[in-house]
Amino acid sequence: MKVNEDNYIKELRNRNEKALDYVIDNYGWIIKSVVGKHLYGINSVQEECINDILLGIWNNINSFDESKNEFKNWVAGICKFKCIDYKRKYLKDLQHENIEDLNISDNGIEVKNLENELSDEVESLLGCLKEKDRNLLYKLYVDEMEIDEISNEYGMKKEVIYNRLSRAKKKIKDIFNISNKRGVKYEK
């Protein structure tokens, strides 16, 4: 029997797999758009969710009442609830994820973005300092050089370096205290 607009619900209830193909062909756009909207950015679970939605339609077709609702609205409802379930499961899995177990590639976009953000924040933080003081802080804290190495590179005594670093830290701290007096909140 050929499945069409007039008999696909009846054929779904009769467990005709061609009726499910009809649903995919004619209502798949609804499923994909709802899943895309609710699970945006969680690509790893979208396909699985779509499969569960189709299984939900297949298993629950007998609960569909044509007199109360249109089929596309019923499908959209199933999609929404399945997406909520998947989002909850995904967030629960994230809470239990051990950050040390995550495999983050050095070539990954996330790492590059994080490095850029950090670099921008450090640059804006140190922007209030003289170039020489900024370079000293970079060498000591970012490049993790020893004071002796910095002293040799710049031809400065260690005491002078410590004094410059102390003044630079104080200047940064004073700027944050001024900002805090203006009502700007920051976390330590």
Could you tell me the domains of the chain? Answer: 8-98 (1.10.1740.10), 126-181 (1.10.10.10)
Q: What is the mean pLDDT of residues 10-23?
A: 92
pLDDT band at 21 (very low <50, low <70, confident <90, very high): very high
Q: What is the mean pLDDT of residues 88-108?
A: 63
Distance CA 74, CA 82 (A): 12
Tell me how far CA of residue 55 lies from CA of 25, 59, 60, 89, 90, in angstroms.
Answer: 15, 6, 8, 18, 20
Residue 69 is predicted with a pLDDT of: 86
**What is the DSSP track for 132-171?**
HHHHHHIIIIIS---HHHHHHHHT--HHHHHHHHHHHHHH
Residue 26 is predicted with a pLDDT of: 93
Distance CA 110, CA 187 (A): 23
Is the distance from CB of 13 to CB of 60 less than 8 angstroms?
no
- Whole-model pTM: value is 0.50
